[in-house]
Amino acid sequence: MPWLAWLLAAAALGVAEFFTLTLVFGLLAGAALVAAVVAGVGVGVLGQVIALGVAAVAGLVLVRPVALRSMARVPLTHEGSDALVGKRAEVVREVTATRGLIKISGEEWSARALDESHVIPVGALVDVMEIEGATAVVYPRELLP
């Protein structure tokens, strides 16, 4: 029943990958699965260890760099109100430290000024710095560095 030991090792490595997200433990878990299959076919311990080594090296040398390059190309996307942070908006009703109204991407949002001393007039362009519940916290574009 050495195949069972390899399956348990693969499961433990898979759990380690889940917590680290390095792609190393996951590839080693795959190599342990290869060793489990080799053990299940009836190959001896030396053959199982060789299969484990070959699969691990192939995964770490060939698969991991390709996977890391692929993951680096995928842009992080923001959904919901988080997608509004960094957007430009127009002031529809004067924005103060406590109230105001802006138009972002065709939608009207309640707003307040990031700096409590700012009063932003109607028609001014602002940047959305953060979203607090249903209120956009904004900063005037002309004051940005």
pLDDT tens-digit readout, 32-88: 999 999 999 999 999 999 999 999 999 999 998 888 888 777 666 666 777 788 899
Q: Which of 108, 106, 100 is nearest to 139 (CA)?
A: 100
CATH T-level fold of 80-143: OB fold (Dihydrolipoamide Acetyltransferase, E2P) (2.40.50)
pLDDT value for 26: 93
Q: What are 132's two structure tokens?
A: 């607090």
Q: What is the pTM of this model?
A: 0.52
**Domain residue spans of the chain:** 2-73, 80-143
